[in-house]
Amino acid sequence: MEVGPRIIFKVMGENVTETVVFGWCISIVILIFAFCATRNMQRIPKGAQLVGELLVGFIYNMVKDAMGDISEKFTPYMGTLIVFLGFGSMLGLLDLRPITADLNCTAPLALVSFIMIHYNSIRARGFIGYNKHMASPYLWMWPLNLMSECMFPITLACRIFGNIFAGVIVMTLVYSGLATASHALGSFIPFFQIAFPLPLNFWFDMFEPILQAYIFTMLTMVYIYNGTTTDEE
């Protein structure tokens, strides 16, 4: 059983996989939607503008709830994360391979979050204050705190990758099992696949992606907030 992303074409010896191509497609679709929704805006929104306003309002509320008064400048990044990861993980609904079922997609995003957390932490506390916080409560805790900080992007990347990839494997097994069952009844059309996997599709292709994208964004927000507030002094 081949589970990795397929290679679509090669550019100068570099493999361009499904992950990259579908990532481009999602970006383009989101861009086109944002462009269409903001042409001739009405005071009373309807159609695409209404959907866009709901989504943007939801993201602004979510970031404001989690981060308080420093939320304004982080909201665009958080909105990008949750929309891209959410749609990227829901590609299973279109019978495509979700892009987050590839560690090469989730690890860079986790790395960006990691750099963002520590850049903002150093900027808010100063280099001395940052190191003082890393060495709290005792000096010998510094390497341990460093290790736990470095584990954060690894767990962040592995969490969404593991969840979505497990969903991909389960869905592949269920679909091939249903095809085998209907072939065993002597039919060439795999008719068992019609409505039986719908609850599983709902769980693995709609609920899990939304939950995991939300958790990815939420953990980034919580860590940035914890890194920038200096309430203990």
Partner 1 sequence: MTGFTGAELIAAFSSLGAGIAMVAMIGVGVGIGYNAGKTVESTARQPEAGGALMRLMLIGVALTETAGIFALVIAIMLLFANPLMP
d(C-alpha 124, C-alpha 27), whole Å: 32
Cβ neighbour number for residue 11 with a 10 Å cutoff: 7
| Distance in Å, CB of 162 to partner 1, minimum | 4
Q: Which of 52, 196, 218, 229 contacts partner 1 by CB under 8 A?
A: 218
Minimum CB separation of residue 205 from partner 1 in Å reads 18
E strand or H helix that includes residue 7: strand 7-11
- How many chain residues bind partner 1 (CB under 8 A)? 19
CB 220 within 8 A of CB 116: yes
Q: Which of residues 65-104 bind partner 1 (CB under 8 A)?
A: 65
Could you give the CA distance from residue 31 to residue 164 in angstroms, rounded to a whole number?
24
Q: Measured from the CB of residue 217, what is the shortest distance to partner 1 in angstroms?
A: 11
Helix (H) or strand (E) holding 10: strand 7-11
Pure H helices in the chain: 18-37, 48-67, 75-89, 103-134, 142-184, 198-201, 208-228
Sign of CA dihedral 136, 138, 140, 145: negative
**Which of 20/213 has CB closer to partner 1?**
213
Q: Residue 16: in which H helix or E strand, if any? A: strand 14-17
In angstroms, what is the minimal distance from the CB of 39 to partner 1?
Answer: 35
Phi-psi region of 117 (alpha: psi -120 to 50; beta: other; left: phi over 0): alpha
Name the residue nearer to partner 1 (CB basis): 24 or 58: 58
Examine residue 219 and tell whether it contacts partner 1 (CB under 8 A).
yes
222 binds partner 1 (CB under 8 A): yes
Per-residue binding letters, 138-167, with partner 1 (x by CB under 8 A): -----------------x--xx-xxx-xx-
Alpha-carbon distance of 48 to 20, in angstroms, equals: 27
Shorter beta-carbon distance to partner 1: residue 55 or 103: 103
Of the candidates 77, 179, 215, 228, which one interacts with partner 1 according to CB under 8 A?
Answer: 215
* In the complex, minimum distance from the CB of residue 102 to partner 1, in angstroms, rounded to a whole number: 12
Helices (H), 38-141: 48-67, 75-89, 103-134
4-33 binders of partner 1 (CB under 8 A): 4
- Stretch of residues binding partner 1 (CB under 8 A), selected from 19-27, 129-137, 188-196, 212-220: 212-220
Applying CB under 8 A, which residues contact partner 1?
1, 3-4, 65, 155, 158-159, 161-163, 165-166, 169, 211, 214-215, 218-219, 222
